[in-house]
Structure 1
C-alpha cells in the first residue's frame, strides 16, 4: 500500500511540474501564412477561433466483461476420501474445474461527458461510463464422475452420489464517474502529449446465481442445490495518466492513453446457500460481509481519430478505439468448499473489461 501511495505522489508531482509550464503554444513556430495552408502542422497551431471552448461527447461501447475464479464445481472421478484434520474430504482427481471459461458475452455500454478547453491553463473533463454485465454457463454430463459444488457445505459434499445439469448466471452493472484536468504540450509538429490527474469514483454490482441437480444420498431423488450471491463495490480515489496523439495527416491522427487509479474501496457481500445432507435434511446458510480495502485499477486505450471544423464555428471529433481495463481483486464471493481442496495455482480474482469504443464529440 505504501508503494502505491508513493507512486501516486510521484506522478502527481511530475504532472504538477508539467502543468506549471507556460502556454504550450507560445513557442509555436508556425509560418506566417493562413491557417488553411498549414496542412503539415497538426496540433502546434490550432485555429484561434476554436480556443477556450466547451465540448460534449458521447460514446457507444461494445465491451466484454470477464472475471477470474467464477468456477462453481469440480469434476471428481473417484469416490475416495482423505482424512484431513479429523474430517473427510473427497479426493479431487483430476480436479477439473467447471465454470466460466469461454462463456463471456459482449454487451453494450455508453459513455457521456463534457469538458472545457483552455490552451493557456488546464483542460478539464467530466464523464460517466456504464457497461452491462450478462453471462451464463451450463454443464451437462452423464457417467463422467461426480460434480462437486464449490459453494456447498464440505460435509454435504461427502453425501453426493450423482449430479447433473449445472448452470450459472453472472450478471451486473459497471459504473464509473471520472474527473480529470490535463495540459497538452507538443514535440515537433505532429506529436502531442497530455499528462493528467483527477478523481475516479466507481460502483459495480454483481449477481452470481448457481443451480445444480444433485442426488445427495443413495437412492434419494435429485434436489436443487443453489447459490445466490450479491456483491456491491463502491470506491473513490486518485487517478493519473498520460495521453498522446500523432497527427500524421491534417484530419487524421493516432491516439493512445494509459491510466492508473488507486481507490479506497468498500465491498458489501450477501450470500444464500442451499444444500442437503439427505433428501429430507435441507441446509440453508445466509451470510453477510462488509469490509474496506484499497485496490488499483489500470486502463489503456488506443485507436484512430479525426477532427474537423464546420465553418470554423463547430469542431467535430470522431474516434474509434480498443479499450482495456483491469480492476484487481473484484471477485470476493466466498465458496465454502474452496478451502477444503488443494489448489495447484493461486487463483486470480481480477475483473476486466475490453472492447471497442466509438466516440462522437462536438466543440462549440
Structure 2
C-alpha cells in the first residue's frame, strides 16, 4: 500500500500545483481584462481617457489672461573688452568683463479654453531690456584692448590710459501655444504643447579706449608742442530676427489647499538672420575723426533656444466658481545659443587686416518671475 501511496501523493501534488498556477494566471488575466474594461467604460462615458486638468469656470467666456513681472539678469560669452597686465608680460594679468545688471521686464498673454477635448490656446508677448558696463584705468599697468583691430592698433605708439565697455540688449518674444492639460494621477497634471515663436534680439556693444598719445615725427616735446591725444572708438550692432517651432511640456505637482509645484520646459528652433554693423574710428584732440572700419555682415541661419521654469503656485476659485485666480513665483532660465555675432578683426598686417571671427558665445537670461492668471 505504501509503495502505491507515494506516487499517488506526488501526482496529486502536481495536479494541485498546476490547478493553483492556472487559477493565479486566470486571475491575472481577469484583472487585466477588468482594467481594460474599466478603461473602455471610462472612455465611453467621458469621451477621454485622461480627464482635463485645466481650470474650469461656470458660465464663463472660457478666456484667461496672464501677466508676469520679470526680474532677470543676462550674461553673454565673449564680451571681455580689455586685459590689464604688466607692460613686459601677461604674468598676473586680468581680463576685464562687463558687470551685468538685474533689470525688470514683463510678459502678458491671453488664452482661450477651447470646447474641443480640453485643448487650450495661449498667445504671449515678452519684453526685456538690460545693459552692462565696466571701466578700467591703466594705473601702473598696461591695457591691452580686445575689440580694436590689431592692424590699426599697430600705428599707435602708446597704450590707452583707460578703457570703457558698454553693452545693451533688447529682447522681444511672441509665442503661440496649443496645449492640453490633463491628470495622470490625483495630484499630477501634464500639459504638452506645440506652437511657434518669433524672436527679435538687438544687441549693441561699445568700447572706448581713451588717452593714446601720438607725437608727430616732425615735432618734439622740447619745442613745447604737446602730443596729440587719440581716443579709439568701437561701435557694433548685432540684430537677430527668427521664427520657428516651439514644442514643450508643462507639469503641476499638487500639494493640497491650492498649492502646487510647477515645472515647464520648451525648445525653440528658429530660422532667421543676423545683421551686424561695425564701425571703428579714432577721435583726435585736434577735433578730427579718422574712420578705420565700416563693415556690414548679414547671414541666414538656424538658432536654438532652450528654456525652463520651476516654482510654487497657489490657486483658488471665487464668485461661485465663475472666476479662477492663480499666483506663481519661480525661477526661469533661457539659453540663446550662438547669439554673440560681434565680429572680431584679428589681422595685424595690411594683407590680413580683413580677417575676422564671430560666433563667440551664447546669451543666457535667468531670474525671478512673478505670475498672475485670471480665468473668466
TM-score band, normalised by shorter chain: 0.7 to 0.9
Alignment pair present for 1:269 and 2:268: no
User: For the Cα contact (< 8 Å) 1:268–1:289, is it kept in 2?
Assistant: yes
**Whole-Å Cα distance in 1 between the matches of residues 237 and 46 of structure 2?**
49
Residues 327, 373 of structure 2: 8 Å contact kept: yes
Q: Structure 2 unaligned segments of length 5 or more: list them.
A: 1-42, 216-220, 222-226, 350-357
Count of residues paired in the alignment: 312
**1:258 equivalenced with 2:255 (yes/no):** no
1:99 is the counterpart of 2:80: no
C-alpha change, 1:63 and 1:47, in structure 2 (3 Å) is closer
TM-score between the two structures when normalised by the length of structure 1: 0.77
1:256-301 C-alpha deviation (Å, 9 max, x unpaired): 1011111112111111101489998944321111111111110001
> Does the aligned pair in 1 maintain the 2:54–2:118 contact within 8 Å?
no
- In structure 1, the residue matched to 2:15 is none
Tell me, in whole angstroms, the C-alpha distance in 2 between the residues paired with 1:53 and 1:105.
40
Q: Deviations over 1:187-211 (max 9, x none)?
A: 2200001111110100011111111
Note the residue ranges of structure 1 that are not aligned, 5 or more in a row.
Answer: 1-20, 30-42, 80-90, 341-345
Asked which structure has the greater CA Rg, the reply is: 2
2:362 aligned with 1:356:
no
Query: CA, structure 1 residues 75+53, in 2 after alignment: closer, same or farther (shift >3 Å)?
Result: same
Does 1:327 find its partner at 2:336? Answer: yes
Measure the CA separation in 2 of the matches of 1:99 and 1:112: 33
Q: Measure the CA separation in 2 of the matches of 1:179 and 1:105.
A: 29
Of Structure 1 and Structure 2, the greater helix share is in 2
Instruction: Note the C-alpha offset of 1:181.
Output: 0.8
Q: Does 1:294 align with 2:302?
A: yes
Deviates more, 1:149-158 or 1:184-193: 149-158
Shifted more, 323-332 versus 181-190: the winner is 181-190
Asked whether the equivalents of residues 25 and 45 of structure 1 are also in contact (C-alpha less than 8 Å), the reply is no
Structure 2 counterpart of 1:74, from 72, 83, 98:
83
More displaced 10-residue stretch of structure 1: 321-330 or 283-292: 283-292
Counterpart selection for 2:316 from 294, 303, 308: 308
The 5 Å alignment of 1:123-272 reads 123-145=120-142, 147-158=143-154, 159-217=156-214, 220-272=227-279
- State whether residues 59 and 322 of structure 2, in contact with CA within 8 Å, keep that contact through their aligned partners in structure 1: yes
Distance 1:22 1:361, change over 3 A: farther
Q: Quick one: structure 1 residues 46 and 181, their matched pair in 2 at CA, closer, same or farther if it must change by over 3 Å?
A: closer
Q: Check conservation: 1:152, 1:275, Cα contact below 8 A.
A: no
CA distance in 2, matches of 1:22, 1:135: 59
Partner in structure 2 of residue 18 of structure 1: none
- 1:27-42 pair list within 5 angstroms: none
Task: Tell me the CA shift for residue 71 of structure 1.
Answer: 1.3
Root-mean-square deviation (CA), in Å? 3.1
TM-score (norm 2): 0.75
Tell me the equivalent position of 2:108. Answer: 112
Distance of 1:150 and 1:46 partners within structure 2: 54
Q: Does the C-alpha gap of structure 1 residues 121 and 224 become closer, same or farther in structure 2, counting only changes over 3 Å?
A: same
CA distance in 1, matches of 2:260, 2:348: 52
**Could you say if the C-alpha distance between residues 122 and 224 of structure 1 is closer, same or farther in structure 2, counting changes exceeding 3 Å?**
same
> Structure 2: how far apart are the matches of 1:347 and 1:189?
47
